[in-house]
Amino acid sequence: MAALRGLGRCPPRSISVSSLHTSSSVSAKQHYKMLVLGGGSGGIAMSARMKRMMGAENVAVVEPSEMHYYQPIWTLVGAGAKTAASSGRSTASVMPSGVKWVKSKVEEINPDANTVRTDDGTEISYEYLIVALGLQLHYERIKGLPDGFEHPKIGSNYSIQTVEKTWNALQNFKGGNAVFSFPNTPVKCAGAPQKIMYLSDAYLRKTGKRSKAKIIYNTSLPVLFGIKKYADSLWEIVKQRDLQVNLRQNLIEVRADKQEAVFENLDKPGETTVVEYEMLHVTPPMGPSLAIKGGPLADEVGWLDVDRDTLQHKRYPNVFGIGDCTNLPTAKTGAAVAAQSAILNRTISLRLQTGACNCSSSSSQYDGYTSCPLVTSYNTVILAEFDYNGQPLETFPINQAKERRLMYHMKVDLMPHLYWHGLLRGLWGGPGPYRKLLHLGMK
């Protein structure tokens, strides 16, 4: 129960501590040339790049979690295609050797004094700062959660504590409504809430239970997917597989003891619908890190306020951001982090060389590239790739809006390898990382 109640706080991102890293927050040296906040994908990738740029002794990473997770695989864990254990490695094993690991939580950032205070009261000063704090899951904003996860038939692929509950609910499904939600907030990997719907449909067909199921996808959005080219293909899949999609429906309450989910109609304030379920997958509301929100680095909503082209903070030139914590107007995905990492590396390099960031060429600017491999079955994926303007920015000389086995194997087999051995070591990424991968493969 205690672990589930913790779902209302920041989720673990990153178990044993390697002798190559100092995990204690108490150290004689409390000043670093480059301080990285967060040990998720963006934080580890950039700390590896900064180690090469300025030396390991000049870089420190603040991260409280002892485990680091490759979260994109949780979609497959929830559908029984991968194990939860396969998604995690110790933070010590992914932290660049020689880089100082401060195993604490960021409590306060003071960019005017160039200092960061951790939850144990330690103050660390810096010359340059990279903020990679991710976002926060807010299960507690749905009435009845997170305590509702103590009941069966309910799960969520967005947390290591609840992803296996999704698989249990799917396996034990007998018949009735299988309900999938999308919240009325920004989310990371916006395709994930419907990926588990397609996989659940495939599993129920494989096990002969599909005729007894009514599959319902209730989304707060006015569209199925934000990019029309891929949305058109997804609507065809929805029709072919007899999936019910209800737009502008937001989950506000779970009555787990009664197996009821309550949705509000966002177009008709005050109107609610109670849906009985035999299986419920919850995508929680999400928001900015509390260490950023309300502070001097935040925009009016609470996200890290960075330049969309360079990832440099708009008001503090020695502060930079990457990943889910930023207010970049693009989808929050691992592929976006991969693309951003090379751009940010270039931005910081120019800053160190010239004292300013003169990123005038298009190759030095981030175009908003992101990717969402939309898993539509246990062997097919639609690979959505697009930019700031919502325009497809595709890698392969084929129609990527079509379901393909090749793309499934790329997501399931190739991408985890590139993540652990490429991105986290600062060796892979750049504008359109899949395009770069294809180019390297053709050499």
Can you list the positions of beta strands (E) in 377-431?
A: 381-386
Considering only CA atoms, which of 288, 259, 101 is closest in space to residue 179? 259
d(CA 186, CA 97): 34
d(CA 215, CA 200): 9
Alpha helices in 147-287 (DSSP H): 163-171, 192-206, 228-240
Can you list the positions of beta strands (E) in 70-200?
A: 88-90, 100-102, 106-110, 115-118, 123-131, 135-137, 154-155, 176-182
d(CA 74, CA 86): 10
Q: What share of the chain is helix, strand, coil (3-state, %, to 5)?
A: 30, 25, 45
Pairing of strands 31-37, 123-131: parallel
Cβ-Cβ contacts under 8 Å for 339 (sequence gap 6 or more): 366, 369, 370, 429, 430, 431, 432, 433
Q: Which of 10, 189, 325, 359 is catalytic?
A: 189
d(CA 280, CA 300): 34
> What DSSP designation does 12 have?
P
Strand partners, 313: 306
d(CA 71, CA 41): 10
Distances (CA, A) of 318 to 41, 62, 149, 399: 21, 17, 42, 42
d(CA 105, CA 37): 9
Active site residue 189: yes
Q: What's the alpha-carbon Rg for the chain, to the nearest Å?
A: 21
Q: Which of 10, 357, 359, 372 is catalytic?
A: 372
Active site residues: 189, 372
